[in-house]
Chains A and B, each alone.
Chain A
Amino acid sequence: MSKKLPRRDVVIVGFGWTGAIMAEQLTAEGLDVVALERGVWRDTSTDYAVTNAQDEVRYRYRDELFEVLSRESLTFRNNTSQDALPMRMLGSFLPGTNVGGSGVHWNGQTWRFLPSDFQARTHNEERYGPLPEDMTVQDWGITYDELEPYYTQFEDICGIAGKAGNLNGEIQEGGNPFEGRRSSEYPNPPMEMVLAPKLFAKAASELGHNPFPGPSANMSQPYTNPLGVQLGPCTYCGFCEKYACGNYSKATAATTILPVLMRRDNFELRTQAMVLRVLKTGDGRMADGVEYITPEGEVYHQPADIVILAAYITHNVHLMLVSDIGEPYDPRSGEGVVGKNYAYQVTSGVSVFFDKDVHINPYVGAGALGMVIDEFNGDNFDHTGLGFIGGGYIATWQTNGRPMETHRVPEGTPKFGAGWKQAVRDNYNHSLGIGTHGAVMSYRGNYLDLDPTYKDAYGRPLMRMTFDFGDNEMKMSNFLTDRAVEIARAMNGREIRVARRTRPYSIVPYQSTHNTGGTIMGDNPRDSVINKYQQSWDLPNLFLTGAGAFPQNAGYNPTGTVGALAYHTANAIRTQYLRSPGPLVQA
């Protein structure tokens, strides 16, 4: 039996990037907001000081910032013919926990999706004919132009460093010529490039491509954001992804929003509050708040007029399933929507090794310090005859030269021992990487549902992930890798080493924390869980933020779009929903 707490205007589940954005926006509107976070309070000055932030053992290898699988995890299989087994160690993806969520340990690569990405089905079918039958790709129900102001809002909060390639329709020298129309230049100039991205850009230019600086949430200069919060210039220490920034130089909830939000009287944060389920009203037509449990085992019912699920996507989907909201997706019939269209990111890499007169200095790095080409992303190129749709970007990011994690060695090097050590010594300072970062389409057989066997520490069924790369992804990734090899060869190094993505997908090696789908958005309740305002079709006072909304994944890192969607949703609540609570889109 849970204890019922006083009703609040808004309860937010999960206090990462989107939880903070929604709380800031709705408290600014005067609403009384309470956020529930399963983890604990974390802040730069108290927990991530420069004296201890750069610790590979503590953060990378002992998972200090990542979620704890001993209480809740998921089960995994590649396809429905297999039995799924619980994920007992993190690997392929690293969801965060504690205040700030996964946004604490991101690299900071902050993209906008292409306008055509939002019309993935109609655009591709118009140009290339019908998509394969098992490909469940769909349009988002929102356009790039609708989202544009909110992309800008998120970039301004973060202080993204970059160079516009399309300013109000005018193509700009030095930026990404393929990007959608931007209404303004980036708030900060690009980061200062180091040698490796410069070598990449030179080679890519020689091949006729248009390299540009990657948009970065690592500050290129001191910045004060529209909330008045200050960020310091990046020191290029090379500890972004998997780490918190000790210098207030990487945009996170803590460095951009929380200093202002935490001072507001109409905001309350409760940490170590693990939400177990969303409660519905007696007639089942509205959310009635949430139920959460404390470490002491006390269970509380927090009623609220608006419920926002802002947990990591796997947990948002899980909460929908265990709370019996919406129809679970069934891959056999294709009916149902909750858990549908789970997707991911497909990546590959090429290493280039130089002679010892080329000094790369890989330890001078930052998560989003790099040069990129976008010629082969989305529908920026003609796919006729290629046998796939979609694409990805190719880049040299100099993210780090961390001694335990990063040591490129040539083909044929022993995996340990004296030979390996010699190869590391010979190549550490004389090699660079080129990465490809590709889209993953959605398929009838890739989905999330509840596991029939395994339960979490709270007695709830674990969520089951069924996923593999499709033919489309393998062809596309190989195509991108071939283009990366061309650029690698044009760098005229001593030798190269190619690491293609292979099938079946494995959740063991780290790839990216770019999980998408499961609570997808669309223009009607038959095909989607939420409308374009991320509002549940079933319970109009329930909103879901995060990459779960993506009907399929694009060839970019997701955070920019996740942030833009959150601001778009917040604006809809502020300007429409509060005036007239109810469905914002008629089904």
Chain B
Amino acid sequence: MKSNLQSNITAALAFSVAIVLPLCPAVAQDKNTWSTIQRGYYLTRMGDCGACHTNDEAKPMAGDYPLPTPFGTIYSANLTPDDQTGIGSWTDDDFYRAMDEGKRPDGTRLYPAFPYTHFTIVTREDSDAIFAYLKTLEPVHQEVDPPDFPFPLNIRLAMMGWNMINFEDREFVPNADKSAEWNRGRYIAEGLGHCAMCHSPKNLIGAEKTGSEAYTGGMAEGWFAPALRKDLNAGLDDWSKEELVEFLKYGRNGHTAAFGPMSEVISKSTQHLTDDDVAALSTYILDLPQDEDEDHSSKDEQRQPLSSDDERMRVGKVIYEAQCSACHAPDGDGISGMFGDLTRSGIVKSENDTSLLRLIMDGARAVPTDKYPTPQAMPAFAWKLNDEQVAAVATYVRNSFGNAAPAVSSDAVSPLR
């Protein structure tokens, strides 16, 4: 199936400067000006580059950060302008080629842990601004470990085949039917923001699934990144734009707090975006799925909650009242901005229970931001509850307070220990 982006290209080809301009604020592209470098810095935050390319806060962007993948561990590149180990000898053409085609200056292929599948739509101007910023960093001599991939993946040429199946070098082309804000949001989400890297499921060879499966949720660092589509009744279906903006800017809203990998996305990336960009991103995300995608809502049967007489429900209720209700309240509605509202939580009622179980077992810490400075945390219960008890309380919250979701088996709990 063709990607959404691709399918829109033809329709939008006629569109040009008028819409493109707001995407790329008019900047005289003198690459060494303060404003270009500042914009490059801003764009590195939009792309959350530091999340993977900074291993040691004292050496920003020096790479060698280990990224576990299903195929082995890969180490991120050194983006500081060091001649031997970094990008000191690169030109802006070289940098753009890496962003656009996933290739190094010598033509060898990058592994798609680097999201060139998204960055390919980043404009040349934005790419140049990022490069200009990176060139101002302190050069760090940092050798990067080779990936410990098995044969044949350790041959970078193998990526040629992968790219043939999963990658199209493409430009960003606005959708003429949508507002400038929506298009800006799409540019951010599909490009530097690379949201789908976590929020879409992956195929057997590690590429994002697209089309009707885009944004239906995916795994990230052992957490389930929830579906972002409104038609699944499992994610953002009842979030307003204001609520999503608040979440991206401050890490919390009336529904929930960010946890797991998303808390890092907020602390390092989205909280630094301009109000306009967060609003644009939210507008686009809340418009998912797009018209041409298959609508899942018709397939979503009306689920009925488990009976309160069910043994798992009775056990879960006792655990909930003793262990959970102090914060999440007897009715499950929590405390706005502090303790998660279980009555409106995509995590609680999601088909995939991984994040719910991890939250119960490992706990999670909310990211402190200017509006919500307290680093509240869900405490870990793995030491306190056994597999049956975790399954029971998870089953209880998934089938109480207006929720209805499949029961959790204790067999699903033990592998997470």
State A46–B375 Cα separation when bound (angstroms).
9
- Who on chain A is nearest to B377 by CB? A45
- B368 and A263 contacting across the interface, CB-CB below 8 Å: yes
State A52–B383 Cα separation when bound (angstroms).
11
Which residues, 243 to 276 on A, are CB-close (under 8 Å) to B? Answer: 246-248, 255, 259-260, 263
- Who on chain A is nearest to B384 by CB? A51
- Who on chain A is nearest to B329 by CB? A233
State A44–B379 Cα separation when bound (angstroms).
10
**Most chain B beta-carbon neighbours within 10 Å: one of A232, A237, A255, A263:** A232
From A222-230, A321-329, A547-555, the one touching the partner chain is A222-230
- A232 and B338 contacting across the interface, CB-CB below 8 Å: yes
Which residues, 31 to 47 on B, are CB-close (under 8 Å) to A? Answer: none
- Who on chain A is nearest to B381 by CB? A51
- B377 and A255 contacting across the interface, CB-CB below 8 Å: no
CB distance from B145 to the nearest CB of A (A): 32
State A222–B384 Cα separation when bound (angstroms).
28
- B373 and A259 contacting across the interface, CB-CB below 8 Å: yes
- A229 and B380 contacting across the interface, CB-CB below 8 Å: no
- B337 and A230 contacting across the interface, CB-CB below 8 Å: yes
Given A230-B337, A230-B338, A263-B368; A248-B326 close (CB under 8 Å): no
CB distance from A510 to the nearest CB of B (A): 27
Residue pairs across A and B with CB atoms within 8 Å: the count is: 62
- Who on chain B is nearest to A53 by CB? B379
State A45–B365 Cα separation when bound (angstroms).
8
Q: Is B339 an interface residue (CB 8 A)?
A: yes
Contact digits for A47-70, partner B, Cβ 8 Å, 1 yes 0 no: 001111000000000000000000
Given A50-B326, A51-B380, A247-B327; A259-B374 close (CB under 8 Å): yes
CB distance from A246 to the nearest CB of B (A): 8
Q: Is B376 an interface residue (CB 8 A)?
A: yes
CB distance from B23 to the nearest CB of A (A): 33
CB distance from A332 to the nearest CB of B (A): 53
- B374 and A255 contacting across the interface, CB-CB below 8 Å: yes
Which residues, 329 to 350 on B, are CB-close (under 8 Å) to A? Answer: 335-339
Which residues, 534 to 557 on A, are CB-close (under 8 Å) to B? Answer: none
- B374 and A50 contacting across the interface, CB-CB below 8 Å: no
- Who on chain B is nearest to A45 by CB? B377
- B338 and A222 contacting across the interface, CB-CB below 8 Å: yes
What residues of chain A lie closer than 8 Å to B327, measured between beta carbons?
A: 50, 232, 247
CB distance from B334 to the nearest CB of A (A): 9
Partner of B373, one of A49, A50, A232, A263: A263
Which residues, 208 to 246 on A, are CB-close (under 8 Å) to B? Answer: 222, 224, 227-230, 232-233, 235, 237, 246
Classify the interface of chain B: helix, strand, loop or mixed.
loop
What residues of chain A lie closer than 8 Å to B363, measured between beta carbons?
A: 49
How many residues of chain B get a CB closer than 8 Å to chain A's CBs? 24
Q: Is B156 an interface residue (CB 8 A)?
A: no
Q: Is B372 an interface residue (CB 8 A)?
A: yes
- A229 and B381 contacting across the interface, CB-CB below 8 Å: no
CB distance from A301 to the nearest CB of B (A): 27
State A368–B365 Cα separation when bound (angstroms).
29
What residues of chain B lie closer than 8 Å to A235, measured between beta carbons?
A: 326
Which residues, 295 to 354 on B, are CB-close (under 8 Å) to A? Answer: 323, 326-327, 335-339
What residues of chain B lie closer than 8 Å to A43, measured between beta carbons?
A: 375
- A45 and B376 contacting across the interface, CB-CB below 8 Å: yes
CB distance from B49 to the nearest CB of A (A): 23
- A49 and B377 contacting across the interface, CB-CB below 8 Å: yes
State A247–B328 Cα separation when bound (angstroms).
11
What residues of chain A lie closer than 8 Å to B381, measured between beta carbons?
A: 51
What residues of chain A lie closer than 8 Å to B335, measured between beta carbons?
A: 222, 230, 232-233
- A260 and B339 contacting across the interface, CB-CB below 8 Å: no
What residues of chain B lie closer than 8 Å to A260, measured between beta carbons?
A: 373
State A390–B376 Cα separation when bound (angstroms).
44
What residues of chain B lie closer than 8 Å to A51, measured between beta carbons?
A: 323, 379-381, 383-384
State A235–B384 Cα separation when bound (angstroms).
21
- Who on chain A is nearest to B324 by CB? A50
State A508–B373 Cα separation when bound (angstroms).
41
What residues of chain B lie closer than 8 Å to A228, measured between beta carbons?
A: 370-373
Partner of A230, one of B326, B372, B377: B372
What residues of chain A lie closer than 8 Å to B326, measured between beta carbons?
A: 50, 235, 237, 246-247
What residues of chain A lie closer than 8 Å to B374, measured between beta carbons?
A: 229-230, 248, 255, 259
Given A228-B373, A263-B368; A222-B336 close (CB under 8 Å): yes
State A211–B114 Cα separation when bound (angstroms).
68
Which residues, 374 to 400 on B, are CB-close (under 8 Å) to A? Answer: 374-377, 379-381, 383-384
- Who on chain A is nearest to B368 by CB? A259
State A229–B376 Cα separation when bound (angstroms).
11
- A248 and B338 contacting across the interface, CB-CB below 8 Å: yes
What residues of chain B lie closer than 8 Å to A49, measured between beta carbons?
A: 363, 377, 379-380
- A232 and B339 contacting across the interface, CB-CB below 8 Å: yes
Given A51-B381, A237-B326, A247-B327; A259-B375 close (CB under 8 Å): yes
CB distance from B329 to the nearest CB of A (A): 9
CB distance from A49 to the nearest CB of B (A): 4
CB distance from B303 to the nearest CB of A (A): 31
- B336 and A248 contacting across the interface, CB-CB below 8 Å: no
What residues of chain B lie closer than 8 Å to A237, measured between beta carbons?
A: 326
Given A51-B381, A263-B368; A229-B373 close (CB under 8 Å): yes
- Rank and list the top 10 A-B pairs by shortest CB-CB distance, nearest first: A45-B377, A49-B379, A259-B373, A259-B374, A235-B326, A51-B379, A260-B373, A222-B335, A232-B335, A230-B338
A residues contacting B by CB (< 8 A) are 43-46, 49-52, 222, 224, 227-230, 232-233, 235, 237, 246-248, 255, 259-260, 263
Q: Knowing that A51-B380, A232-B338, A259-B375 are A-B contacts, what are 18 other residue pairs whose CB atoms are under 8 Å apart, sorted by A's residue number? A: A45-B365, A45-B375, A49-B363, A49-B379, A50-B379, A51-B323, A228-B370, A228-B372, A228-B373, A230-B372, A232-B327, A232-B339, A246-B326, A248-B338, A259-B368, A263-B368, A263-B370, A263-B373
Give 20 A-B contacts (CB < 8 Å), ordered by A residue: A45-B375, A45-B379, A49-B377, A50-B326, A50-B327, A51-B383, A52-B379, A222-B335, A222-B338, A224-B337, A230-B335, A230-B337, A230-B372, A235-B326, A246-B379, A247-B326, A248-B338, A248-B374, A259-B374, A260-B373
B residues contacting A by CB (< 8 A) are 323, 326-327, 335-339, 363, 365, 368, 370-377, 379-381, 383-384
